[in-house]
Amino acid sequence: MLLAVDIGNTNIKMGLFKGKRLMRTWRLATNKAANLKYYTKLLRKLLAKQKADTIDEVIICSVVPKLTRIVKRALFLILKTKPLVLGEDIPAPIKNLYKKPKEVGQDRLANAAAAFKRYAGPVIVVDFGTAVTFDVVTARGGYLGGVIVPGMELSLRALTGKADLLPEVKLSRPKALLGRQTISSMRSGLVYGYSFMIEGILKELKKGLKGRPYVVSTGGGASLMLPYCRSINKINENLTLEGLMEAALEGRKSEKIIKKERK
């Protein structure tokens, strides 16, 4: 059994794999101010129904360095298994063609690896997280690069935080493009505005790729935006976790090869 952990700026998502099969998932809010005691207690409670001795491996992907250390230690105390950190202990299973490879977030590489494994290339991943990211994988499976823009919730908070007369609004689907009230106008502007931007970026990215690129989306806002983005072919909410699982599998293969060579 493999426990995959994706630590993001907004949420921490965990998935339990048996082989390649995802058995269950957990999602919890990221608390950047919390300490080891807090996360040990929280994770112990979440994993209470899963016997610790059945989890053989733990792999972590993180964009929050402080929490990487805390969550890694907490899981070790609970499971007695040393977690592997993607990008530190084990590489993402994809060729990184970025000009400065170390600058790419490991979550983006995990997404790219899983997308190529499942949908072949060329493929484009759109991740609706704290930021909306676009990641491009070539026909041969190389991570080419991408685009980063502020996420939808982030943009909404910035708008209401800076404009005193605008109310707090919950992000949801607008009934029409033309808003007849302030709240409906804000929702329309955000959802349709992002959809037009996403469609435009995808159109331009596709021009630089041979063949017909497949587009897969993931992240918290993927299901909200799907009806407004015709270029997106599929939603895979567990793409990052699947990328972590693929990295763990590749790591096992590498270990077996090294052991054979030593013999």
Residue positions annotated with a catalytic role: 107
Helix (H, G, I), strand (E, B) or coil at 73: helix
CB 10 within 8 A of CB 220: yes
- How many angstroms separate the most distant Cα atoms in the chain? 74
Amino acid at 73: R
Helix (H, G, I), strand (E, B) or coil at 145: strand
- Bridge partners of 175? none
For residues 190-216, one letter each, b for 16 or more C-beta atoms within 10 angstroms of the residue's C-beta and e for the rest, the string is: bbbebbeebeebbeebbeebeeebbbb
Helix (H, G, I), strand (E, B) or coil at 180: coil
- Work out the end-to-end distance of the chain between its first and last CA atoms, rounded to an integer number of angstroms: 27
User: How far does CA 178 lie from the centroid of its chain?
Assistant: 32
- Which pair of tokens denotes residue 44? 């112990």
Q: In angstroms, rounded to a whole number, what is the distance separating the alpha carbons of residues 241 and 94? A: 15
Taken in order 22, 23, 28, 31, the sign of the CA dihedral is negative
Nearest to 241 by CA among 11, 18, 25: 25
Nearest to 107 by CA among 254, 260, 247: 247
